[in-house]
Structure 1
């Protein structure tokens, strides 16, 4: 099932996809442009959400950036205010020279996970969604010490449009990824090319920290990133998960 969170007539509602439209929890059937889209995963009521993000998790992207592929996951944390919704806007700060998208498969944790073995990893996943983890290259110190301003900025990580149940994605390690800017294809890849795959990441993180329901793991992007200008419409799409639209302002 494809699930979403939206605002309709001033009320936050859960929704599901039905024939290309949105079936709201109150039974109303509306179009995609009739609502304001929120990130598809509700904030945990009792704690901050942990958002883990991978850098250089595709060998071709590391090569594109003229950097050696990591031998251990390169990970950074994000705050929840960085999240944004489908069809929303992300600000490009004045004066920057290079701001690029990153189309990323995102894992949504479904069960408390501690010391999970690789073979059991999928049992702890609720579903998957699409992230566009914008980065400002100007602020980068180096790939092992990314400045917070590179990625952890308010509204700079659109997420969605859907949360797709894990059972509906039998093999998350064989999904095509694609990004378009103003309708032109600028990035293509497949999740099979990850250096550290989904089961590895669940095992790796849960070995030293507890993952909780609703936590997110952004798994990195393939090569093909380009600079995005104000007014550009960026669509990051992953097979089976949907197309996430965002506009630069």
Structure 2
């Protein structure tokens, strides 16, 4: 299934160029009260919701043209956003070679420097647009494959890691260049763009062979394939879960390939990953 959040937190099923409103399926979610759970409720009960959706679509639910809806982040309440730095060899080389990227920071291999966290408040959907947080700095696009954790776990072995994935989506890890730590420069509001929807894991035959592409104002800036990841999705889950428990709805950004470049107010970014959809993100003037 391909599921989206749209408009005023409606739940949608993607079918071709239409969105089928299946918000009624959310009635199967368990009620909760303070203290609220530390995970995303929908992702934690995704199988139950999917079964309810199958029942709903036997009727005649409301349909919308995809072009008429506002696409929000497919995950409403991620507990944490885990991100992989320099996880493509060619991006590691460009980051080391370009002073405007590294700002005299040491750029180490991912196996040595590890992962980092982004603020969950930085998460937005494709239709929400983006405002440059620091116009006095260089601000770059970074397209990434995103895995959404579906089952909690700690110290998850790589051989079992993909069993913990609910689904995948396209991600933009927007970045302010400068001397500060990555987690600060990548966490302004809106600097984690997820979308256009969640493609459930059972629909992705091989997460290690997906094509990534981003265009800015019609110009191709980044083009790669997930086969070039230094540490693949399963290895990243093993790595991350060796430090902290992963919860349903946690976001895993797997790293960006070479070709990162500056964007400006008024630019339009179009990012796509094979099988996961295509999202358009406008940068506010």
**TM over 0.5, shorter chain:** yes
- 1:245 is aligned to 280
After superposition, give the CA deviation of every residue in 1:214-242 in whole Å (9 maximum; x if it has no partner). Answer: 11110110001111111100011111111
Q: What is the rounded CA distance, in whole Å, between the counterparts of 1:188 and 1:168 in structure 2?
A: 22
- 1:140 is aligned to 179
Number of residue pairs aligned between Structure 1 and Structure 2: 237
- Residue 116 of structure 2 corresponds to residue 76 of structure 1: yes
State the Cα distance separating 1:147 from its structure 2 match: 5.9
- Residue 83 of structure 2 corresponds to residue 53 of structure 1: yes
Q: What is the rounded CA distance, in whole Å, between the counterparts of 2:273 and 2:93 in structure 1?
A: 22
Going from structure 1 to structure 2, the CA distance change for 1:70 and 1:122 (only over 3 Å counts) comes to closer
Tell me, which stretches of 5 or more residues in structure 2 are unaligned? 24-60, 97-106
**8 A Cα contact 1:188 1:222, kept in partner:** yes
- 2:129 is aligned to 89
State the Cα distance separating 1:94 from its structure 2 match: 5.4
Question: Which contiguous aligned blocks of 4+ residues in structure 1 show a shift greater than 6 angstroms?
Answer: none
After superposition, give the CA deviation of every residue in 1:58-101 in whole Å (9 maximum; x if it has no partner). Answer: 11101011245333353211122101111221111454241111
Q: What is the rounded CA distance, in whole Å, between the counterparts of 2:132 and 2:205 in structure 1?
A: 37
SS class of match (2:231): coil
Going from structure 1 to structure 2, the CA distance change for 1:147 and 1:96 (only over 3 Å counts) comes to farther
- Residue 63 of structure 2 corresponds to residue 23 of structure 1: no
| RMSD between superposed Cα atoms in Å | 1.6
User: Within 5 Å, which residues of 2 pair with 1:62-141?
Assistant: 62-66=92-96, 67-72=107-112, 74-93=114-133, 95-137=135-177, 139-141=178-180
**8 A Cα contact 2:20 2:64, kept in partner:** yes
State the Cα distance separating 1:244 from its structure 2 match: 1.9
User: Please, what TM-score do these two structures have when normalized by structure 2?
Assistant: 0.79
Going from structure 1 to structure 2, the CA distance change for 1:95 and 1:13 (only over 3 Å counts) comes to closer
Going from structure 1 to structure 2, the CA distance change for 1:80 and 1:96 (only over 3 Å counts) comes to same
